[in-house]
Each structure stands twice: as structure tokens, then as C-alpha cells.
Chains A and B, each alone.
Chain A
Amino acid sequence: MAKENNLGLAGWFHAGRYGPQRYSYTLQRLTGIGIITYLLIHVFVTGTKIQGATVWQSVMDAVLHPVLHFGEFLLFIAIIIHAINGFRLIWVELGSFLGKPFKTHYPYQTCLDRNRGFLAVTWVLIVVVAVLGAADFMHWL
């Protein structure tokens, strides 16, 4: 009789001393959940535009409540992260930017090492676009 020992759902969030790539996959998932949840609601909220200006304005007044407005800001950041990291994943999951197989020898190098540059550029871009967008969002510009 054996004892179950699976990582389970907790393993998506923490499972040991792994590098950033493992957790960037969880982040991609979390931002994705946020975005699809928002989309499903967004279609109905924006659909009220066909009922005219008065209805539209009352809906806009409701969604511009500070808590919801902040939520929209978080969603904006989620979209930036998901899209830019997603761009990297499109290439990587089709086998690009990971190097070529070669005759390996110790100490071993992995495709994660070869993709580190791309990952770094991705995150720099995410931060830059997020800051620009945040500035616009907060009407600092």
C-alpha cells in the first residue's frame, strides 16, 4: 500500500527552488484567467451602447467606481504581461529561440539558459509598456 505524494495544485505556485520560467507559466495562466473573466463580462457591459447615450452614461458611471476602475487598471497590466510574454511563448512553444541540439557535456546547459536573453527583453518591454500605460491611465501624461 503506497502513500499519495502529488504536488497538486499547490505545485503550480511553489514546488521547490526552481527558476523564474516555472512561475512565469503560472503568471501567464493567472493573467489569462483574469482576462477571459473580464471579456465575458465586458461583452455585456459594452453591449449597452446600442441602447443609447443615457443608458451608456449610467453604465459608465457605474464602472468608473474607484474599485472597478482600479480593477480595470490591474486588467490592463494583466493584458500587457500576458500579451508580451505570450509573444515569447508563441516562438518558444514552436521550438524557436531555444538553440539547437548538440553533443552535450558536463556542466550541462539547457534551453532555459539559451532563452534567458529573450525572457529578459520580454520583461523589460513589459515594464516599459506598463509604466507608459499606467501614466496614461492615471492621467499623469
Chain B
Amino acid sequence: MCSQEQKVFDNSTVVKEVTLRVFRWDSEGHFGEGRLVDYTVPVVQGMTVLDALIYLKEHTDHTLSWRASCRMGVCGSCGMFINGLPRLGCQTQVLVLDTDVITVYPLPNYPVIKDLVPDLSRLIEAHTAVRPYIIRKGTPPEEIDGEFHQTEDELVDYLQFSYCLKCGLCMSACPTVGTLPEFPGPQPLGQALRYIRDTRDEGFEERLEALDHEFGVFRCHFAGACSEACPKGIDPAFAIQLLKREIVKRTVFGLPAPEGARLMPRALEKAEKLSGIPPAPARTVEES
């Protein structure tokens, strides 16, 4: 029952009260092997699960722990398992969930540091292993003097996969990540495709070792849960099937890599002349 005219946060009216059933665990054994604890939260219009957790920490239990940063769905820090799906806490509205009890667990498939805080090392290590940056043979990227020509179509070929927040929700959803520690996971595989499909990149061979092995990309069987979980529409399941196609085209059929992006060395000069913006001043920091 909500109190008459109770006002919280920015003086908004309380619409109802919900129970937040939160998984609690710490390494000191205060919650044994882990336990669900019920907390009551007054709900206002537009309140997110993250807001609810902040309310609890301020008013009810200051020992509750979770990760959050931007609170607006761009940093990927507040990933949690809410009401049966991995979601961003800041993007999950309590009233949209429409249940009187909201269960909040830490993200599955990651070790738990405390309460709702996952250890994301696996995500970071697997992501690093696929070399998520433009690889150029020849001139290092920092010495390239010019612009790469990329058509609209070439951009759209990889653009949607470039919006990844590294929130890790997809890794939580994946059934293979849940049983196979050596499997890279949807996020790294999606990012591998993002770079392979970028016409500026020349690093397909360098990435292959991390992808084409017995515990690699071919242990994905299109369960599609990663795409269901992704809060940014990256559609990692789509990326991974496209990645399989790219790998088979090159390793099985021996098809050559598509033509890379053309470097336009005069483009910068021309742009500077046309725009009236003066050229950059000379370096003042010595090269190491």
C-alpha cells in the first residue's frame, strides 16, 4: 500500500510500491552461498531499476553494490539479470516491467565479485584477443596522411556492429559461453566482424587464429539469445553468421579479400583549402 501523497526523488508522486528481490552475496559470507533479499521500493513515473537500487542504497541498505555510470544507456556499466533477461538497469523502467516483484540477479556467465557486480575479465580478454582496432599492413595508422574513401554502402556494411557498448549482456545470454570457457563469445565475434568488414582494415589473417579453432566461432549455433539481449541493436547473432560466411569464403573457397578503402592523400589539403581552416601546426611533442 503506498502512503497518501508520498513524494520521493524530485517530488514526484508515488504510483505504487514494488518488491525488489535482489541477489546478495559477498566473499565474507554474510549471505552464505548467495541469497535473495526482498526490499520495498516506492515507484514514481519513469523510474528505472537503477533508480530503484539507488533509492535502496540511500534509504534501506547501504551495503548493496552494483555498477553504474552514465545512467542513460551509453556506458554499458549497469548490466543485470532483471526479470528473466539480461538488461541495462538504467534502461529498464519499473512500470514497464509491470510486475509487483522484480527479481534482480548479477549477470550470468561472469563470476560475481559482490551482489550485482560481475567480473568482466572474460569479456575484456576475449575482446582483446580478436584485435578490435584497424590493422594496416605497411604504414602505421598514426603516420597515414590522408583520408580513406569509404562509400555509404561500405559504411553501412559494418556500422550497426560498431555501436557496441561492451556491456556484456550478450555474453550472459549465450548458451555456449555458459559451458565453454574458451569460446570467445558474441561480443568479441561481433567486433571481429566489425573490423573485418571495414574496408580500411587489412587484418583478416591476424584475427583468424582467434576465430577459426575448435572452440571458436563455429561453436555458435545461432541460438540468437545474444541479439535478443543486446540493448543497442547490434544484433551479434547476425554478425556471427556473417562472420562464418566471411571465413568460409576465404579459407574454404580461397576467395580474395575485397578491395580495401582507397587512401586519398590530397583530400585533407583540398578540404583545408575549401573550408578556410588552416593546416595543423607542427608537432611540439617529441616522438618517443
Contact = CB atoms under 8 A, between A and B. Distances in A.
Interface of A: 1-9, 11-12, 15-19, 21-22, 25-26, 28-29, 89, 92-95, 98-99, 101-106, 108-112
A129 to B, nearest CB: 22
8 contacts: A16-B86, A25-B222, A93-B241, A95-B245, A104-B234, A110-B235, A111-B238, A112-B227
B108 A22 contact: no
A15 B230 CA distance: 16
Contact of B118 (A5, A28, A94): A5
A12 B237 CA distance: 16
Interface of B: 25, 27, 33-34, 81, 83-86, 106-113, 118-119, 156-161, 163, 173, 175, 177-179, 221-225, 227-228, 230, 232-235, 237-238, 241-242, 244-245, 248
B99 to A, nearest CB: 12
Contacts of A102: 156, 160
B237 A11 contact: no
A101 B241 contact: no
Contacts of B173: 15-16, 18
Contact of A7 (B33, B175, B238): B175
A54 to B, nearest CB: 46
A118 to B, nearest CB: 12
Contacts of B107: 5
B245 A101 contact: no
Contacts of B27: 1-3
B233 A15 contact: no
Given A3-B25, A16-B86, A111 B235 contact: yes
Given A17-B84, A25-B222, A4 B161 contact: no
A103 to B, nearest CB: 6
Given A3-B25, A104-B233, A112-B227, A95 B241 contact: yes
B224 A5 contact: no
Contacts of B224: 18-19, 21-22, 110-112
Given A5-B111, A7-B175, A22-B223, A16 B156 contact: no
A13 B56 CA distance: 34
Contacts of A112: 224, 227-228, 237
Contact of A22 (B25, B225, B230): B225
Given A25-B223, A93-B222, A18 B238 contact: no
A12 B109 CA distance: 13
A109 B237 CA distance: 12
A106 B175 contact: no
